[in-house]
Chains A and B, each alone.
Chain A
Amino acid sequence: MLGAHCPVRTRAPEHLQFGPAPQPGHPAPAMTAHSFALPVIIFTTFWGLIGIAGPWFVPKGPNRGVTITMLVATAVCCYLFWLITILAQLNPLFGPQLKNETIWYVRFLWE
């Protein structure tokens, strides 16, 4: 949070104390900018290792077929589930509706 002093600052009532507002003209620092490419790469590699490379390392035995099926199925299911979730949030059409106390809290504590 930028500690710059802003000339215009409303005196807030006791129960709603706002922190110092950032300097005008500067957007708030993107502390939590999430890229899209990085998680995709990480997770694809992770589940790809389990689902595609894993079967090669299953030891020979009576359960080999079952274990390979389990690995592949797990990788497919979990990767798909994660992918759907992140795709659904990629381009949100609307944002969360917050109560004003929550807004103050989030602004103060998370950013």
Chain B
Amino acid sequence: MQEQLQKLEVELREVTKNKEKLRKNLLELIEYTHMLRVTKTFVKRNVEFEPTYEEFPPLENDSLLDYSCMQRLGAKLGFVSGLINQGKVEAFEKMLWRVCKGYTIVTYAELDEPLEDPETGEVIKWYVFLISFWGEQIGHKVKKICDCYHCHVYPYPNTAEERKEIQEGLNTRIQDLYTVLHKTEDYLRQVLCKAAESVYSHVIQVKKMKAIYHMLNMCSFDVTNKCLIAEVWCPEADLHDLRRALEQGSRESGATIPSFMNTIPTKETPPTLIRTNKFTEGFQNIVDAYGVGSYREVNPALFTIITFPFLFAVMFGDFGHGFVMFLFALLLVLNENHPRLNQSQEIMRMFFNGRYILLLMGLFSVYTGLIYNDCFSKSVNLFGSGWNVSAMYSSSHAPAEHRKMVLWNDTIVRHSRVLQLDPSVPGVFQGPYPLGIDPIWNLATNRLTFLNSFKMKMSVILGIIHMTFGVILGIFNHLHFRKKFNIYLVSVPELLFMLCIFGYLIFMIVYKWLVYSAETSRVAPSILIEFINMFLFPASETNGLYSGQEHVQRLLLVVTALSVPVLFLGKPLFLLWLHNGRSCFGVSRSGYTLIRKDSEEEVSLLGSQDIEEGNNRMEDGCREMTCEEFNFGEILMTQVIHSIEYCLGCISNTASYLRLWALSLAHAQLSDVLWTMLVRVGLRVDTTYGVLLLLPVIALFAVLTIFILLIMEGLSAFLHAIRLHWVEFQNKFYVGAGTKFVPFSFRLLSSKFSDDVA
């Protein structure tokens, strides 16, 4: 390909040079023509006209010149004619006057249209001049001055016939030159068009070669300077494939000596490679955006595949909206091989890359929408409500029981704006709705009171479980890195702290749900007050949730109080004890193996004559890890900071999970408002106008649903779900300090190709 390009370059250069020459020629000829034309006007007298006087014409008379008269006088009269740049005219004239002391006559006139200077290519104004002089010496001086001022001098014809001849000749030559130039330009355009067709593939080839050379630059020469050595990281599972690929490459390129590789042990930290397919890639990107995992640590992306859409759905929970989102994501997934989607711009590309995330989010939102019983802000009554209104009427009960309960009759109902059902009245509440929230709550005015209590408790329960799961994943980390002491000194106190306080909170919530009912509702204690009192030890003996509560709580507080110092000081003290008992503080980690590859096919490229046997270069790549200074203060500080962060974080992170409640409340209310303001207005109008009005109302409802509820709320819930994962979940166990394993791949370059060419 290189020769092709070189040939093309040479050809183009030649053609361009020729063109330039021709153009210059053309310009000169044009100037000559102009000059001839203009100087003709200087000579007013006809050649045949005989002059009457015989003396020298006066010097100021510069329009009449009779050279035949001069000739008769015997003086040698010379002419210099040409063109001069406009800016230099006065200086030229002055110089001539000073030098020749009046023995020259200069005539000049301005050319009307500006011409192009053949050398510089600028368009400037020219002056045509005609200098007449007599005498050899003056002639030389004049010529020198003309040279100095860069005038374009052209031979001046002596007779009119000569001039005519020259002019005709010039005209024909100019015509010829025009045609030739035209043809040259056409040819040039043809050549360039042909080259432009193949430029795209050439660019890609050149880029690929450049990338390969870039990689080769990173290799180093060995002692004999005959082969290249590359130190690479290779996943252990791919070692066999690598060997095979090397053999195949050597065979196909026809190298006399094949490349080979050895594995070398090393203590450096390898990069992190996590294999993903098109489904898991999106979730892995979410985790990687926070930080690429350290080598061999637990990958939270595995669990994020489900917990992220689930937490999103808890905040988004609407059957209808979730279904629309699911359909949109399904559209993207089914058309993922459509070429236009692959190359779309930024925003569409983001949606496309997250299509599987959207799919799962939509699915889970459908489920939570079912449970919240919320479909475009309306509830669905599938199984029949568990609340019975008729049972509140006094007519449903025996008169004997009327005194104990507040019951209704028609008058009361007609005269009160709102009435509340009382679950302690028998028959009013007949059991919990089997799937989700009872549909009667959608009709109730105190809907939010119930829902808030329910959602807050749900958020706290989900949050504590999520965080405990995070701590447990940390245990897996410690097990893998064989730091068992971490489990006993860090993870177990963390778990105890979390569970004794917040696990107990969950227990209280569930206990209150199970044990307290409408009959005991008057004495049902508030969970929040109880929880706070657990720490405050109030003087007054309030009724607890259950008997023996104080003892249980005291026990839990003791366990917590004991686990805190263990969390603070356990690990540093243990490490100190280890250090004093052993000479060098070395963390036993399995050494990582570093693969080296000798590539000897480069020998043929480098043109070396004598090809030697490639030696088995076993460089000792095992770098000694120096015995680290055991810095007790630093370890203690780190652990104290970690512990404080954990303990305070427990409380704040648990409260942070309340955003699950907050966002789902916001979504439900927005949805409700949209319905009330739009569709209900459309549905309440009577039938004559109603049909016409309903159509734009539904259209507006759909548009606003998509933009406000789906896009805005969706983005908001997405963001908060990410925050919950990154901060509250991952800071329980994730370090995320690794580097990503980025192998050389043409596929990675191909995206850059399309960016550059597009």
Name A's B-contacting residues (CB within 8 A). Answer: 6, 10, 12-13, 16, 18, 21-22, 24-28, 30-36, 38-39, 42, 63, 65-66, 69-70, 73-74, 77-78, 80-82, 84-100, 102-104, 106-107, 110-111
Q: Give A57 to B545 CA distance when docked, in angstroms.
A: 45
Q: Give A63 to B278 CA distance when docked, in angstroms.
A: 12
Q: Could you give 25 example pairs across A and B, Cβ below 8 Å?
A: A12-B410, A18-B410, A22-B395, A25-B398, A30-B388, A34-B386, A34-B432, A36-B431, A69-B302, A73-B307, A84-B458, A84-B462, A86-B432, A86-B433, A89-B386, A89-B432, A89-B433, A94-B420, A94-B449, A95-B518, A96-B441, A100-B416, A100-B419, A103-B413, A110-B381
Q: A16, B414: Cβ atoms under 8 Å? A: yes
Q: A34, B434: Cβ atoms under 8 Å? A: yes
Q: Give A4 to B395 CA distance when docked, in angstroms.
A: 13
Q: A21, B395: Cβ atoms under 8 Å? A: yes
B417 within 8 A of A: yes
Contacts of A107 in B (CB 8 A): 389-390
Annotate B510-550 by CB proximity to A: 1 below 8 A, 0 otherwise.
10011111100100100000000000000000000000000
Name the residue on A nearest B391 (C-beta): A28
Query: A95-B420, A95-B428 are contacts. A32–B383 as well, Cβ < 8 Å?
Result: yes
Q: B389, A32: Cβ atoms under 8 Å? A: no
Q: B367, A78: Cβ atoms under 8 Å? A: yes
Q: Which residue in B314, B413, B447, B510 is a CB contact (below 8 Å) of A81?
A: B314
Name the residue on A nearest B276 (C-beta): A66
Q: Give A101 to B518 CA distance when docked, in angstroms.
A: 25
Contacts of A81 in B (CB 8 A): 310, 314, 367-368, 371, 458, 462
Name the residue on A nearest B439 (C-beta): A110
Contacts of A106 in B (CB 8 A): 385, 389, 440, 443
* A31, A74, A80, most chain B CB atoms within 10 A: A74
Q: B388, A32: Cβ atoms under 8 Å? A: yes
Annotate B383-409 by CB proximity to A: 1 below 8 A, 0 otherwise.
111111111010111110000000000
Give 10 closest A-B pairs by Cβ, nearest first: A34-B431, A95-B421, A32-B384, A96-B444, A91-B517, A73-B306, A39-B434, A28-B390, A93-B521, A89-B432
Q: How many A-B residue pairs have CB under 8 A?
A: 208
Minimal beta-carbon separation of B40 from chain A (angstroms): 93
Name the residue on B nearest A19 (C-beta): B390
Q: A82, B371: Cβ atoms under 8 Å? A: yes
A22-B390, A96-B447 known; 19 new pairs, CB 8 Å cut-off, are A10-B411, A25-B398, A31-B388, A32-B386, A34-B384, A42-B434, A66-B302, A81-B458, A86-B433, A93-B524, A94-B449, A94-B450, A95-B518, A96-B446, A98-B419, A98-B420, A102-B444, A106-B389, A111-B389
Contacts of A36 in B (CB 8 A): 431-432
B418 within 8 A of A: yes
Contacts of A102 in B (CB 8 A): 443-444
Name the residue on A nearest B466 (C-beta): A77
B721 within 8 A of A: no
Minimal beta-carbon separation of B437 from chain A (angstroms): 6
Contacts of A103 in B (CB 8 A): 389, 413, 419
Query: A21-B395, A27-B426, A82-B371 are contacts. A98–B514 as well, Cβ < 8 Å?
Result: no
Minimal beta-carbon separation of A30 from chain B (angstroms): 5
Minimal beta-carbon separation of A28 from chain B (angstroms): 4
Q: A98, B368: Cβ atoms under 8 Å? A: no
B residues 459-495 with Cβ under 8 Å of A? 461-462, 465
Name the residue on B nearest A111 (C-beta): B390
B297 within 8 A of A: no
Q: Give A35 to B310 CA distance when docked, in angstroms.
A: 28
Q: B413, A97: Cβ atoms under 8 Å? A: no
B611 within 8 A of A: no
Contacts of A33 in B (CB 8 A): 430-431
Contacts of B393 in A (CB 8 A): 21
Minimal beta-carbon separation of A79 from chain B (angstroms): 11
Name the residue on B nearest A13 (C-beta): B414
B277 within 8 A of A: yes
Q: Give A17 to B547 CA distance when docked, in angstroms.
A: 51
B117 within 8 A of A: no
Q: Which residue in A69, A78, A89, A95 is a CB contact (below 8 Å) of B303?
A: A69
Q: Give A104 to B410 CA distance when docked, in angstroms.
A: 10
Q: Which residue in A21, A25, A82, A93 is a CB contact (below 8 Å) of B516?
A: A93
Contacts of A74 in B (CB 8 A): 306, 310
Q: A98, B454: Cβ atoms under 8 Å? A: no
Q: Give A95 to B443 CA distance when docked, in angstroms.
A: 12
Minimal beta-carbon separation of A81 from chain B (angstroms): 6
Contacts of B515 in A (CB 8 A): 91
Query: A22-B390, A32-B385 are contacts. A99–B417 as well, Cβ < 8 Å?
Result: yes
Query: A12-B410, A96-B387, A98-B445 are contacts. A82–B420 as well, Cβ < 8 Å?
Result: no
Minimal beta-carbon separation of A51 from chain B (angstroms): 11
Minimal beta-carbon separation of B406 from chain A (angstroms): 12
Minimal beta-carbon separation of B305 from chain A (angstroms): 6
Contacts of A111 in B (CB 8 A): 388-390
B457 within 8 A of A: yes
Minimal beta-carbon separation of B468 from chain A (angstroms): 13
Minimal beta-carbon separation of B334 from chain A (angstroms): 20
Q: Give A110 to B413 CA distance when docked, in angstroms.
A: 17
B28 within 8 A of A: no
Name the residue on B nearest A15 (C-beta): B414
Contacts of B423 in A (CB 8 A): 92-95
Name the residue on A nearest B427 (C-beta): A27
Contacts of B516 in A (CB 8 A): 91, 93
B435 within 8 A of A: yes
Contacts of B381 in A (CB 8 A): 110
Q: Give A96 to B441 CA distance when docked, in angstroms.
A: 6
Name the residue on B nearest A91 (C-beta): B517
Minimal beta-carbon separation of A41 from chain B (angstroms): 11
Q: A85, B454: Cβ atoms under 8 Å? A: yes
Contacts of A66 in B (CB 8 A): 280, 302, 305
Contacts of A27 in B (CB 8 A): 391, 396-397, 426-427
Q: Give A48 to B674 CA distance when docked, in angstroms.
A: 39
Minimal beta-carbon separation of A66 from chain B (angstroms): 6
Name the residue on A nearest B461 (C-beta): A84
Q: Give A94 to B428 CA distance when docked, in angstroms.
A: 11
Contacts of A99 in B (CB 8 A): 417-418, 445
